[in-house]
Structure 1
Amino acid sequence: MIDEQWNHRFKKNCYIFIFSYAVMGMVTGITNNTFFSYLDLVAPNIVKGMGMYTAISSALVSILLLFVHKIGYKKTLIVSAVASAIALAMCVIIHQPTVIAVMYIISFVGIAMFDYTYPLLLTSYVPDDQQVTMFSRTMYINLLTQAVVTFFGGKWVVAIFSHLLHVSYDKASYLSENPSALTAAQRTLYIHSYEKIVYIAVALVVVAAIACFFLKEKQSDYQEQEGELQGFEGVKREVSMYKQLFTKDILLWMLYLVIIQIGASIITPYFPIYLNNFLHIGRGTVSTILSLQTLAMVIGYLLAPWLEKKLGAIGSIGGLLILVIPLLLIMPHGAMFGAQTPLIIGVILFFRSGLANASMPIQQSLQMNFVRKDLRPAFSSFMTIVYAIAAFFTGIFTRYFLFVRPEGYGNAYYITSVMYTIGTILIYVVFFKKYNRILSKKNKEEDPADEPVKAEATEE
C-alpha cells in the first residue's frame, strides 16, 4: 500500500515517466497517421491485413508483460524503446514487404509496451486517492503531444513533397489528395517525403529511452514482498495466483473489452485511408481532422475524474459509448455532404473521439484494481493474449472479406455500431451494481488489490 504522503521517489518516477510517455505520444502521432499512410504506399497488403500483424505483435507484448514483475519497469521501457527505434529505421531503409512486416511488428511491440506498462507503474507509485487524476493526466499529456505531431505530420509531408517536386505547397497538397494518380517519379518523391518524417519518429524514441534511464526503482515497486518459495511449493503458489485471472467477473470483463476492441480496430486505424482515398480529403486536411480528434480525446481525459464522481465507473464507460453509436452511423455517408464533407466529418470524428475515449482513464484504473500488484502484469498479459487472438481473426476478416471492396471501409462503421451496442448492454447488466462506485469507495478505505488476494473481490 502506498503511503498517504506521496513518497518523493515515487512521485519523481511518475513525472519522469510522464515526460517519456509524452515523447512517445509524439511518436504515436507519426506511427498512427503518417507512418500508416507510408505503409499503404510501400506495402499496401500489410495495411489491409493489419489486424493479423497487430495480433502477432500483441502476442509478443503479452509474453513480455509476464517478465515486467521480474525485471522491472525501467529495463522494460528502455529495451522496448531501443527495439522500436531500430525497427522504424529499418522500415525506411529496406522496402522489402516481408522485412517491413517484421519490423512493423517489432516497432509496434516497442511502442505498445509503454502503453501497457504505464497502468502498472502508476498503480504502484500513485496514492489511491490520486490514481484517476494521475491516469487522466498521463493520458492527456501523451495525447496533447500526439495531437500536435498529428496536426503537423501530414503538412510536413506535403511541405517536403513540394520542396522535392519544386512546386508550391498548394500544388503538392492537391497532388496528395489522390496518391494513386501520381506518376512514378512523383510517387517516389512522395514516399521519400514520408520517410523523412519516420526518421523524426526514430529520433523521438531515442529521447524517450534516454529519459527512462533516470527512473530509480526498487524490486518492491513491482513485486510483492513475500517469502520466496522454491520448488514445488513455489510452483503451487504461482498456479494459485494465476487461477485468480479466471474468475467470472474477469472473464466477462475480457469479453467486453474484446467486443469493443474489435469494433474499434476495424475503423480507427483506417481513418487516414478512408478520409484520403475514399472521401478524397486532402492529406494536410486529414492531418488537421485527426489532430483535432486527438484534442477531443485530451478534453475527454480531462473530464474523466469529474465523470467518475458523477456517473460512476461503469456509468461513465457505458453511457459514453451509447452517445457514440449515432455518430458512427453517419460516417459511411460522408460523401453526401459534398463540399462540406471535410468540415462535417471532422466535427463527427471530434465528438466520436472525445466521447469514446473520455472514460479510458477510469477503465484503466478500474481494471488494475481487479487483482493484486504482482498479478497486474499477468492480468495485462492475459488481456493482451485475448486481444491478439481477436485481432488475428479480425485481420483475416478485414483482409479477405471486409476490405475486398471499397465500400467495406464504410460498412465497418455499421459493424462497430453493433459491437458497441452489445458491449454497452453487457457491462450494464453484469458490472453496474457491483463495480460502478468501486473507485469512489477505494479512496475511503485500504486498497483491496494490495492485500492478500480474496476470491470475493472478483467473484459474485
Structure 2
Amino acid sequence: MEMGKRSSFNSWMFIISYIFMGILGGVALDTMVTFLDASAATKGIAASMSIIMGIGFYGGAALLLIVPKLGYKKVLAFSPIAFIGGTFLITKSSSVMLVAIAASIIMIGVCMFDAILSPFLSCYTTEENREKIFSTTLWTNIAGMVVGTWSGGKLIANRFASRLGVGYGEAKALTEKIAEFNPTQLQAYVGAHKDALLIYAIVAAISLIPILLIKEVPQDYKKVKKETKEKMNWKAFLNKYIILFVLFSFLIRLGASLITPYFSVFLSRMGIDRATISSLISYQYFAMVIFIFVSPWIVKKMGRVVSLGGLALISIPFMLLIANGAAFGSHMVMAVGTGLFLRSGFMNASQPVQQALPMEFVTKEARPVYNAVIYVAQGIAQVVAGIFGKQFLFLQPNGYSKAYYVTAVIYTIASVMLLVVFMKKYNRPQHENKTEEQAA
C-alpha cells in the first residue's frame, strides 16, 4: 500500500476507534463518577476524580515514551484492554483501594488515546490537511462522548427501574433525591451502575478491531537503519515557545479540572434528576461536536493563537452562568443547560489547534516525548486541582459553585499569556506567513 493511501487508511482507523473511545470517555466521566459518588465507601474517590484523571494523564504520558520501541499500534491496543480490565475490577471488588486502582486503570485507558492523538496523526497528515483531520478526529470522538453520556443516564435509570420492579418514570423521579434512598433503593442504584459499566466493556472490545487493522511500519515512529543510536537532545526543549506552551496547557487543565470532572456531582446537588443530568452533559458534548466541526473555518478567520486564547476568554461568562444556575429558580435547568452548551462549545472549538500546534515546535522523533511532557504537566495540574478541591475548595459552602470563579481567573491568565507570547509568530501557519511576506 502506497504511503498516501496508507496514511489515509491509518487516520480513518484511528478515527473509528477514537469514536468508540469517546463513548467510553463519556461513560468514565459520567457513569463511573456517579457510581463512585453513590456509595459512602467510595464517595471520597469521586471527590478525588481530578487526581484519578491525573493518574490517567501520567499513564498516558508514560505509554507515549515506549512508542519508539513498540510502535503506535501496540500501544493503542492497550487502551480498550485497560478499560475492560478496570471495569471488571471496579464492578466486582468491594475493596476501596482496588476500586481506586480500577478507576485509575480506566482513566489511563481513556487518557492514553488522547495523549497519542497528536503525534500519531502528525505522522499521517501534512501541514495543509492537518487541521481538517484533527478537527474530524476530535468532533467524531466527542460525538461518541455524547452517545456515552446520554445513553449512560438512560441505561442507569432503566436498570434501576428493573432492579426495583417499578416503571421507568418512577425510577427516574426517585433519582432526583438520591440522598433519601433507603438501603434497598441504594443497592439497586449502585447495581444499575454496575450493569451499565459492564455493558460498555463490550464497546471497548469492539474498539480493538480498527486498531488491529492499522498498517504501520517502523519509519512511522522512529528513525531506522542508523549505525549509531541517537540520544534525545533535551536542550532543544529549552525554547520559550516549547516551555510556555507547556505552562499554558498546565493552566488550562488546572482550571478545567476544578469543574469538568464534577459536572454530574454539582448538578445532582442542585436537585436535578439523574437522567436529566446525563442529558445536559450530553448536550454540552454535542456543542463541542458542532464547534469543533466548524473549527477549521474559525481558525481560518481568526488565526490559531487568537482562536485558542480568545475563545477561552469568551467561554468565561457562560461558566459563571452555570455556577449561578440555582438563582434562576424554575428555569434552572434551561440556564444551566445553556451555560454548559456555550461554555463547552467556545472552550473546545480550538481543540484541533491545541493538539496540532505544539507538534510544530519539535521534530517527528521528538513528538511523542514532547506530548508526554505536556501530558505530565497536565497530569500534575489534575492532581493539584484534585488535592485543592478535596482538601479545601469543595469543603467550603457552595464550593462546587466557587470552583467556576477560580477557573475563570486561571483561564484569563493562561489566555492573555498565550496571546502576548505566541500571537506574532504562530497565529498563522508558516506557509501562510511566507506567502503574505512575498505578497508584501
Q: TM-score range by the shorter chain?
A: over 0.9
Q: CA deviation at 1:228?
A: 4.0
Q: Find out whether 1:368 has 2:378 as its counterpart.
A: no
Aligned to 1:56: 55
Q: Find out whether 1:179 has 2:178 as its counterpart.
A: yes
> AA paired with 1:16?
M
Paired with 2:217 and 2:389, the residues of 1 have a C-alpha distance of: 44
Q: Find out whether 1:31 has 2:28 as its counterpart.
A: yes
Aligned to 1:166: 165
- Secondary structure in structure 2 of the residue aligned to 1:281: coil
Check the 8 A contact 1:275/1:281 in 2, yes or no.
Answer: yes
Paired with 1:276 and 1:288, the residues of 2 have a C-alpha distance of: 13
Q: CA deviation at 1:147?
A: 0.7
Aligned to 1:359: 350
Matches within 5 A, 1:217-236: 217-225=216-224, 227-230=226-229, 234=230
Matches within 5 A, 1:1-12: 7-12=4-9
Aligned to 1:341: 332
Q: CA deviation at 1:121?
A: 1.4
TM-score normalised over the length of structure 2: 0.95
**CA distance 1:168–1:440, shift in 2 (3 Å):** farther
- Secondary structure in structure 2 of the residue aligned to 1:420: helix
Moved more, 55-64 or 193-202: 55-64
Q: CA deviation at 1:252?
A: 1.0
**CA distance 1:443–1:121, shift in 2 (3 Å):** farther
Aligned to 2:101: 102
Aligned to 1:315: 306
Gaps of 5+ in 1: 446-460
> AA paired with 1:292?
Y
Aligned to 2:277: 286
Paired with 1:83 and 1:41, the residues of 2 have a C-alpha distance of: 23
Q: CA deviation at 1:226?
A: 6.3
Q: CA deviation at 1:369?
A: 1.2
- Secondary structure in structure 1 of the residue aligned to 2:129: helix
Q: CA deviation at 1:225?
A: 4.2
Paired with 1:443 and 1:182, the residues of 2 have a C-alpha distance of: 65
> AA paired with 2:366?
L
Paired with 1:442 and 1:301, the residues of 2 have a C-alpha distance of: 24
Check the 8 A contact 2:56/2:110 in 1, yes or no.
Answer: no
Q: CA deviation at 1:198?
A: 0.4
Q: Identify which of 423, 431, 437 aligns with 2:422.
A: 431
Matches within 5 A, 1:194-273: 194-225=193-224, 227-230=226-229, 234=230, 237-238=231-232, 241-273=233-265
Check the 8 A contact 2:61/2:376 in 1, yes or no.
Answer: yes
Check the 8 A contact 1:135/1:361 in 2, yes or no.
Answer: yes
Matches within 5 A, 1:144-159: 144-159=143-158
Q: CA deviation at 1:149?
A: 2.5
Q: Deviation per CA, 1:32-63, whole angstroms, max 9, x where unpaired? A: 11111111123110111223333333223222
Q: CA deviation at 1:439?
A: 5.9
Q: CA deviation at 1:443?
A: 10
**CA distance 1:206–1:439, shift in 2 (3 Å):** farther
Q: Deviation per CA, 1:363-412, whole angstroms, max 9, x where unpaired? A: 21111111111101100111122122222222211111011135110000
Check the 8 A contact 1:22/1:142 in 2, yes or no.
Answer: yes
Moved more, 264-273 or 106-115: 106-115
Aligned to 1:18: 15
Moved more, 367-376 or 241-250: 241-250
> AA paired with 1:210?
I
Check the 8 A contact 1:6/1:126 in 2, yes or no.
Answer: no
Check the 8 A contact 1:316/1:359 in 2, yes or no.
Answer: yes
Q: CA deviation at 1:442?
A: 8.3
> AA paired with 2:208?
A
> AA paired with 1:17?
F
Paired with 1:317 and 1:14, the residues of 2 have a C-alpha distance of: 24
**CA distance 1:182–1:269, shift in 2 (3 Å):** same
Check the 8 A contact 1:263/1:419 in 2, yes or no.
Answer: yes
Paired with 2:399 and 2:64, the residues of 1 have a C-alpha distance of: 34
> AA paired with 2:13?
I
Check the 8 A contact 1:274/1:409 in 2, yes or no.
Answer: yes
- Secondary structure in structure 2 of the residue aligned to 1:323: helix
Paired with 1:59 and 1:141, the residues of 2 have a C-alpha distance of: 25
Paired with 2:149 and 2:51, the residues of 1 have a C-alpha distance of: 25
Check the 8 A contact 2:91/2:194 in 1, yes or no.
Answer: yes
Q: Find out whether 1:326 has 2:317 as its counterpart.
A: yes
Q: How many residues end up aligned between the 2 structures?
A: 433
Q: Deviation per CA, 1:205-231, whole angstroms, max 9, x where unpaired? A: 11112321111110001113462414x
Q: Considering only aligned residues, what root-mean-square deviation do their CA atoms show, in Å?
A: 1.8
Q: CA deviation at 1:14?
A: 1.1
Q: CA deviation at 1:318?
A: 1.3
Q: Deviation per CA, 1:280-332, whole angstroms, max 9, x where unpaired? A: 11111111111110010001111111111111100111111121111122222
> AA paired with 2:343?
R
Question: What percentage of residue pairs aligned between the two structures are identical?
Answer: 34
Aligned to 1:395: 386
Q: CA deviation at 1:80?
A: 2.7
Q: Identify which of 27, 37, 47 aligns with 1:40.
A: 37
